[in-house]
Amino acid sequence: MKSGVGAPTRARIPDKTLRTDRWWLPPLLTNLGLAAFVVYATIRSFWGSAYWVPEHGYLTPFYSPCLSESCLPGSSHFGTPLPELPGWIPLGFLALPFLLGFRLTCYYYRKAYYRSVWQSPTACAVAEPHDRYTGETRFPLIIQNAHRYFFYVAFLISIINTYDAILALTHGLGLGGIILLVNVTLLWAYTLSCHSCRHIAGGRLKHFSKHPVRYRLWTLISKLNVRHMQLAWTTLATLVITDLYVMLVASGVISDLRIIS
Amino acid sequence: MAYTAKFKVWRGDAESGGLHDFDVEVNEGEVVLDIIHRLQATQAPDLAVRWNCKAGKCGSCSAEINGRPRLLCMTRMSTFTEDEVVTVTPMRTFPVIRDLVTDVSFNYTKAREIPSFTPPKDLQPGEYRMQQVDVERSQEFRKCIECFLCQNTCHVVRDHEENKEAFAGPRYLMRIAELEMHPLDTADRVRPAQDEHGLGFCNITKCCTEVCPEHIKITDNALIPMKERVADRKYDPIVWLGNKLFRR
Ligand code: SF4
Ligand code: SF4
Ligand code: FES
């Protein structure tokens, strides 16, 4: 507190904040939400089974694309260029690090975990616990600038997820297919609402008037972009729901609700 | 209906100070600044407070109310319950002069460090022509009333006095964005934003946006687009190569 609100020239107020509202609640909820997802996603990524329902063509997004010979027959929509993998490597190991990287460097998630995990700051006008602060000026946080590259890969993975969902529809229509479809639609919305995407689409232009198509695109993405936070959380939820449903059907705990078989 | 409210107002100067208790009348429709004025009129004639327009447009009356950076004139008493203690302090990021008045010259220094609008050399005043869609984006930033609430709330300087040297603060990084997005500005704003004005210190935690009384989307529309431009220029090998090859 010596360097910040306790600095010698400032009004002498000993409290780290005088806020009377529940400013600690949002960061707490963020921590709980993120932790729940990380635990679930880690367990499921390493699970190694109950990710594919052959009769209905359901593949969980956590295992897509499945490209090794360890994958269950039928679940490899793009062939098996890779040999069998030792059991401790998640079958989705090609996409997962990029999806994790996309979310870790996402401008919204950065805000969320800087506030809740790193407490820098925990909430606005609440003194942070750190003595020094350099933000994103140096290694390692300077890597956040690579966000656009993760976006490019996430874009490709969204195409793959779309393919998976459409493939499921060729087996008829069931609740699982609808869940896959809703999930992939929201994944697209999250991916396209990315700040880097907004910049690439048109944000980097100085003269919108010279690029009417990109301006239009930028306008549309800007509309999605204001929902980026909501989409970030909704897609965490839909990913879990989708995976859970596929897992339950694949392991025979429940049977898929068929609408058209 | 009139009632008596409990107020705690910070009084003091650079050497010492503390919260003082007041019981003061509140009438329907009043704002916190009205109550401060009533205190001046009835109990504390030498209470220092800066204000001008009482309409949320001059940006003078910035302070912290129950710990939240706000304009005194735009904070309605009806947002508090009648038994709630209302605490008013000066902004906690700038040196205090007296009572609720702080020395905000940090902001003027930062403003002067930004090179002004630089139109093309051969263009005379009066010859400026631009399209509405091209100026629209930066017009949002011109709603700024320079209340410095964002500068005050930003943890980069609020919690780290030593960063004041290197960091321009959200209001002035937004000014750089405004010029950078201006269709007729020719100066290089991108590299200096990162290297001289400390854009990299910002960790996009959005407190500036949260407190801005003009509801400017500072982080989403100014700071993040600037970070993306910096990434184009400094951290993206593909864009760098593209610019080299095609001389955009
Ligand atoms: S978003 Fe950046 S500039 Fe705004 S308050 Fe947070 S750290 Fe400061
Ligand atoms: S950007 Fe908003 S908060 Fe910052 S000085 Fe301007 S009006 Fe005040
Ligand atoms: S008195 Fe002008 S903004 Fe409050």
Q: What is the reported pTM?
A: 0.95
DSSP per position, B35-69: HHHHHHHHT-TT-----S-SSS-S---EEEETTEE
Closest-CA residue to B157 (of A3, A124, A118):
A3
Please list every residue in chain A whose beta carbon sits closer than 8 Å to the beta carbon of residue B136.
Answer: 208
Task: Look up the ipTM and state it.
Answer: 0.95
Residues of chain A contacting B98 with CB distance shorter than 8 Å = none
Q: CB-hemisphere CA count at 13 Å for B238?
A: 5
pLDDT at B206: 98
Query: For tokens 């990162």, what's the residue?
Result: B194
Note the pLDDT tens digit of each residue in A223-251: 999 999 999 999 999 999 999 999 999 99
**Which tokens hold the place of B64?**
């912290």
B156 within ligand 1 shell (Cβ under 6 A): yes
Question: A170 CA to chain B: closest CA distance, Å?
Answer: 39
Average pLDDT, integer, range B9-13: 98
Asked if residue B231 lies in contact with residue A145, where contact means CB atoms within 8 angstroms, the answer is yes
Q: Which of B137, B136, B135, B147 is nearest to B214 (CA)?
A: B147
Q: What is the pLDDT of residues B99-121, one digit of tens each?
A: 999 999 999 999 999 999 999 99
Q: Which atom of ligand 2 is nearest to the CA of B107?
A: 5
B20 three-class SS = strand
A39-62, pLDDT tens digit by residue? 999 999 999 999 999 999 999 999
Query: What's the pLDDT band for B237 if we cut at 50, 70, 90?
Result: confident
